[in-house]
Amino acid sequence: MLKKFLTILISIFVLSSLTVFAGEDWSSYDGIDNAWDGQKSITNKQFEETMDALQARSKKKEAKKREKKLKKFKGSSLTPEMDAHNEELVNEQPDEKLDENQLISVPVDFIVNGELVERGFYKVEGEKKSDGVYILLYQAHVLKAKIKAKETNDDFEQEYIKFAKILPCNDHQMKIIFGCVDFNAFAYITFIEPECVF
């Protein structure tokens, strides 16, 4: 009995709300011209001031959260640059991005495996195979030269683990050195001396 009563009550409520919506006239749009009345426009300066205030507030909240976390640790460091409570700490960025390859500029045309390779910029990659190591020179995605290299433990006094450089040797040769996490290598390449133009 209760279910029937609730069903009848809900249906009466739904039907009465439908008649209210049907009674309204949606064909007049007289109020649309005044829809934006009462709202004022803001300038760029006001917008920027508001954004700065919001960013300052969020930074303040982050500082409070950070301080709350730091309160768990007792004591402080003997050196101020290592102190956890020092607000001027900055995350150090690595000196070199870990990139897949290095970029070198070869200033002269050179010969690899009996073929002429033109001067220009080359991406350098290393490849270690069962028959030895190779230094690969790319322009865009095109392999321009595959140079058989000699693996070495010498780091050529380079500052980084990953490096590629060209070093002059004599009048007709230069040395290309390459280093990565897996191996260090070098190879000699013969270059064509440019003609003098007067």
pLDDT tens for 106-119 read 888 888 888 888 88
Q: Which two tokens stand for residue 79?
A: 């050196």
Lowest-confidence range among 73-77, 96-100, 114-118? Answer: 96-100
**What residue ranges in the chain does DSSP mark as E strands?**
102-106, 110-112, 115-117, 120-129, 132-139, 142-152, 163-168, 173-179, 184-191
C-alpha dihedral (70, 75, 81, 85), degrees to nearest 10: 30
Task: State how far the Cα of 123 lies from the Cα of 101, in Å rounded to an integer.
Answer: 6
Inform me whether the pLDDT recorded for 97 exceeds 60: no
Q: b/e string for 102-120 if b means 16 or more Cβ within 10 A?
A: bebebeeebebeeeebeee
- Yes or no: say if 109 and 193 are a contact pair by the CB < 8 Å rule: no
Task: State how far the Cα of 119 lies from the Cα of 192, in Å rounded to an integer.
Answer: 10
pLDDT tens for 47-59 read 889 889 999 999 9
Mean pLDDT of 2-13: 80
Inform me whether the pLDDT recorded for 30 exceeds 90: no
Task: State how far the Cα of 60 lies from the Cα of 9, in Å rounded to an integer.
Answer: 54
The reported pLDDT for the residue numbered 191 is: 81
The reported pLDDT for the residue numbered 47 is: 85
Which of the pair, 185 or 2, is modelled with greater confidence? Answer: 185
Mean pLDDT of 129-138: 91
pLDDT tens for 37-49 read 667 777 888 888 9
Q: How confident is the model at residue 98 (pLDDT cuts 50, 70, 90)?
A: very low
Task: Please state, rounded to an integer, the average pLDDT across all residues of the chain.
Answer: 78
The reported pLDDT for the residue numbered 3 is: 78
The 8-class DSSP code of residue 195 comes to P
Q: What percent of the chain lies above the pLDDT cut of 70?
A: 70
pLDDT tens for 141-152 read 899 999 999 998
The 8-class DSSP code of residue 4 comes to H
The 8-class DSSP code of residue 101 comes to -
